[in-house]
Amino acid sequence: MKEIIVVAEHRRGELRDVTWEMLSRGRELSEGLGGELSVALLGKDVKNLAEALKPKANRVLLIEDNRLEFYNSETYEKVLTQLITERKPMLTMIGHTATGMDFAPSLAAHLKIPLATDCIGIDAKDETFALTRQIYGGKINAAVSFLKKGPQYMVTLRAGAFPVIEKEPLSGEIVSVPSLLTDEGLARRFLEYMEAAAGEVDITQADILIAIGRGIKDAENIPLVKELADSMGGVLACSRPVVDKKWLPKGCQVGTSGKTVKPKIYVAIGISGAFQHVAGMKGAGTIIAINKDPKAPIFGVAQYGIVADLFKIVPVIKEKIKQLKKS
């Protein structure tokens, strides 16, 4: 039987969107291959999550252990090594997220299974898989294949790259897999979740986000955009370089290593649209991009685009809003 295993990702009692995305694509692949779809759920007291996953797979492989309460690359690697060695799935799907990027390479190396990372497309082809990955900061989609012929493969899939397609529910069964974990050899330990500092605005709750990128050039230019945000009743957000330069706090960062936001309106100003950023904001209702480069990838996800120098256009928009408010 050709089995595909999706490794469920969850945090603080909630399954992450990438899990549903992988299950959706995994189901299409397994149906095409005449195989079965399983989802591996590692955690402590996560039966409620197993129940939620049941309709999306043929089986939920539930591994519960006190040591799995929080994500830890060491425990994940040990448990998944055991599971994959026993079940020999044709394909293991892992999210290309902070955690997936952390454990997938060492897991694949340990098991000597070829791994393709950060895929935005995957199709079954001649007993192997044809993959799509992006290169040159998302400007080119490259068709890639595994050098080594199976029988087992592993992929990490980019979060937000695969749509969640609603299908007839499956009657997945929950299979409890005993954990063979011991404390022996565990060097890493979870300490705490870092909460946003008091007083910081939670950008995930805002309806309107005005996000700035490296195009803003200097911290002293931020008030220009802050005034625009205030006039629109919006909140400031940003890309990673703005945080790296300490122009705005980490809590404002949108993207794979920042926050995932779904505001009604997202205005990206001077942001190129690297996939790490886009993954965090592509779920916004309406995306408006301002960039002086007409080839910037952000225009590929924006519904409205303005090709212009932000220092010229932002004051014009601000003025227009002021006039509209007066009238």
Ligand X SMILES: Cc1cc2nc3c(=O)[nH]c(=O)nc-3n(C[C@H](O)[C@H](O)[C@H](O)COP(=O)(O)OP(=O)(O)OC[C@H]3O[C@@H](n4cnc5c(N)ncnc54)[C@H](O)[C@@H]3O)c2cc1C
For the CB of residue 207, give the shortest distance to ligand X in the complex, in Å.
21
For the CB of residue 196, give the shortest distance to ligand X in the complex, in Å.
15
| DSSP 8-state code for residue 279 | T
**Contact with ligand X (CB under 6 A) among 179, 240, 284, 305:** 240
310 binds ligand X (CB under 6 A): yes
Three-class DSSP category at 291: strand
Three-class DSSP category at 325: helix
Question: What is the phi-psi region of residue 88: left when phi exceeds 0, alpha when psi lies from -120 to 50, beta otherwise?
Answer: left
Instruction: Give the integer Cα–Cα distance in Å for 296 and 279.
Output: 16
311 binds ligand X (CB under 6 A): yes
Q: Fill in the per-residue mask, 168 to 197: x = in contact with ligand X (CB under 6 A), - = not in contact.
A: ------------------------------
47 binds ligand X (CB under 6 A): no
Contact in structure between 214 and 239 (CB atoms under 8 Å): yes
For the CB of residue 209, give the shortest distance to ligand X in the complex, in Å.
13
146 binds ligand X (CB under 6 A): no
Q: 262 or 292: whose CB is closer to ligand X?
A: 292
**Interior angle at CA 281, CA 278 and CA 286, nearest 5:** 115
For the CB of residue 118, give the shortest distance to ligand X in the complex, in Å.
10
244 binds ligand X (CB under 6 A): no
For the CB of residue 224, give the shortest distance to ligand X in the complex, in Å.
11
Instruction: Kindly identify the residues of this chain, within the stretch 262-301, that bind ligand X according to CB under 6 A.
Output: 270-272, 274, 276-277, 280, 290-293, 296
Instruction: Give the integer Cα–Cα distance in Å for 138 and 127.
Output: 28
Give the CA diameter of the chain.
71
Site for ligand X (CB under 6 A): how many residues?
27
> Starting at the edge strand that comes first in sequence, how are the strands of the sheet with 91-96 ordered?
140-145, 128-135, 115-125, 153-158, 91-96, 3-7, 36-43, 59-64, 173-176
210 binds ligand X (CB under 6 A): no
**Contact with ligand X (CB under 6 A) among 19, 24, 58, 239:** 239
Instruction: Give the integer Cα–Cα distance in Å for 133 and 117.
Output: 8
Q: 46 or 212: whose CB is closer to ligand X?
A: 212
Instruction: Kindly identify the residues of this chain, within the stretch 245-264, that bind ligand X according to CB under 6 A.
Output: 253-258
Instruction: Give the integer Cα–Cα distance in Å for 206 and 233.
Output: 9
Q: 22 or 310: whose CB is closer to ligand X?
A: 310
Instruction: Give the integer Cα–Cα distance in Å for 222 and 255.
Output: 20
Contact positions vs ligand X (CB under 6 A): 213-215, 239-241, 253-258, 270-272, 274, 276-277, 280, 290-293, 296, 309-311
